[in-house]
Amino acid sequence: MNYGLYTIFLGMRARQNTLEAQANNIANATTPGFKAERLKYSTVEAEKKGTGDKQNLVAGVTTTGSADYTEGSIAQTGRTLDIAIEGDAFLQIQTPRGVRYTRAGHLSLNQTGQLVTKNGDLVAGQNGPITVPEKGQLSIGQDGTLGADNQPFDGLKLVRFNNPTVALMKEGDSLFMMTGAEQPLAAPDSKIVQGALENSNINSISEMVAMINNNREFESLQKSVSLLMNDIGRKISGDLGKI
């Protein structure tokens, strides 16, 4: 194995993973409740085969990803079933795959009058799915209490995690699933804002600048591959000439 090529390969793969994450972030810059994916570079070492005391280690770079749970700004929509969360809470959602969590608050009612997300997943109340009365003006209090004509009938199930980076993993569609590292806790300090949505926490300009820099690093590594391959080619030609 050419360990120079191996090291460069790891570096290129890390930049490719970063590029995919950045592209996905930019694509979701206008998605309510979306949380950016952040990748961190870390060094890996592999044993280089040798003899006796001449064994060495070759270093490379890999990536690990996690969501950035920084709150996005809140935009007023005036729509009754739009909600934003101030604080670190999540809405609990019931999907066909099990319980999930989200901060995307563009809600609606299904054909049976149950409160659902934009994907049709059931929003959890204090005792299960929430069925909204057919009559009465719907109100959603800061603590998540649901009322019809000022008469409470249920409440949103809001939960938080001490360390969401460890407790949750992204699933897609602004949904998160538990890793099992923590159990959900009550979120008394978070507040619901009715008639509003939380924007994505993506800064498109900063993300584009980071993508350009990442592309430059990738191109630099590509040039290193070309130089190494030319060097290998010269050595092979020299060895063949001696035969």
Per-residue pLDDT tens digits for 81-139:
999 999 999 999 999 999 999 999 999 999 999 999 999 999 999 989 999 998 888 99
Give CA–CA dist 219/211, Å, rounded.
12
User: Would you place residue 156 in the very low, low, confident or very high pLDDT band (cuts 50, 70, 90)?
Assistant: very high
Coil, strand or helix: which one is 177?
Answer: strand
| Residues paired with residue 194 on neighbouring β-strands, in sequence order | 83
Strands 83-86 and 151-155 come out as unpaired
Give CA–CA dist 238/242, Å, rounded.
7
Q: What is the DSSP letter of 53?
A: G
Q: How far, in whole angstroms, is CA 39 from its chain's centroid?
A: 10
End-to-end CA distance of the chain: 23
Coil, strand or helix: which one is 199?
Answer: coil
Q: What are the extents of the domains in the chain? A: 3-69+202-241, 74-198
Q: How far, in whole angstroms, is CA 106 from its chain's centroid?
A: 18
Q: What is the pLDDT of residues 225-239, one digit of tens each?
A: 777 777 767 766 666
Nearest to 194 by CA among 144, 154, 130, 155: 144
Q: What is the pLDDT of residues 185-216, one digit of tens each?
A: 999 999 999 999 999 999 999 999 999 998 89
Inter-residue contact 85 to 198 (CB < 8 Å): yes
Spatial neighbors of 109 by CB under 8 A, at least 6 apart, are 81, 115, 116, 132
User: Model-level pTM greater than 0.85?
Assistant: no
**Average pLDDT over every residue of 156-169:** 96
Inter-residue contact 160 to 90 (CB < 8 Å): yes
Coil, strand or helix: which one is 168?
Answer: strand
Q: What is the pLDDT of residues 167-176, one digit of tens each?
A: 999 998 899 9
User: Would you place residue 40 in the very low, low, confident or very high pLDDT band (cuts 50, 70, 90)?
Assistant: confident
Give CA–CA dist 46/44, Å, rounded.
7
3-state helix, strand, coil in the chain (%, to 5): 30, 35, 35
Spatial neighbors of 101 by CB under 8 A, at least 6 apart, are 90, 91, 92, 93, 159, 168, 175, 176, 177, 178, 184
Helices (H), ranges, the chain: 3-27, 164-167, 204-241
